[in-house]
Amino acid sequence: MSAQQALNMAEEQGLDLVKISPNAVPPVCKLMDYGKFRFEQTKREKEAKKNQHVVEIKEIRMSPSIDVNDFNVKLRNALKFLSEGNRVKVTVRFRGREMAHTDIGRDLLLKFAEGCAEVAVKDKDPKLDGRHMSIFLAAKNAKDTKK
């Protein structure tokens, strides 16, 4: 039908004439209450935004001479962060002469990653950046950890 006929039909029913695909030949149109359509669309967007989870990067700092109990506390905190679905950056800071023994820090980070192995995956290998060596851990499957 012609555009004028469709517009008259929409006015009779108290609806709006909305072009679905205006570039098609002939253009495809639909009769609908456009205000109601926009309201429902924004409502769906708000609902989707409410259900999404923003993944944060949590940082855990250690020194190469960390004690066993302190290490275990840091490991527990990392497991808690990972269970919430966040990524964890584990950093070892070297001070003074400790820079000569970066292998100790690397072993410490690998041991930390091993302790988190059942809930986390190692994103990047240990990397030395100035006086800091860091490793990134991510939760294995974020969908299962949210429950």
What pLDDT score was predicted for residue 78? 92
Give, for all 147 residues of the chain, the pLDDT tens digit.
888 888 888 888 888 888 888 888 888 888 888 889 899 999 999 888 887 777 788 999 999 999 999 999 999 999 999 888 889 999 999 998 988 988 999 999 999 999 888 888 888 888 888 899 999 999 887 544 444
Q: Give the integer Cα–Cα distance in Å for 64 and 72.
A: 14
Domain ranges in the chain with CATH number 3.30.110.10:
57-146
**How many residues comprise the chain?**
147
What pLDDT score was predicted for residue 85? 84
What pLDDT score was predicted for residue 144? 45
What pLDDT score was predicted for residue 142? 52
The predicted model scores a pTM of 0.61
- CATH number for the domain whose boundaries are 3-48: 3.10.20.80
Beta-strand runs (E) in the chain? 16-21, 28-32, 57-62, 87-93, 120-129, 132-139
Q: Give the integer Cα–Cα distance in Å for 87 and 122.
A: 10
What pLDDT score was predicted for residue 146? 45
What's domain 57-146's superfamily in CATH?
Translation initiation factor 3 (IF-3), C-terminal domain (3.30.110.10)
Q: Which long-range contacts (CB under 8 A, 24 or more apart) does 125-129 make?
A: 128/102
What pLDDT score was predicted for residue 118? 86
Domain ranges in the chain with CATH number 3.10.20.80:
3-48
What pLDDT score was predicted for residue 40? 92
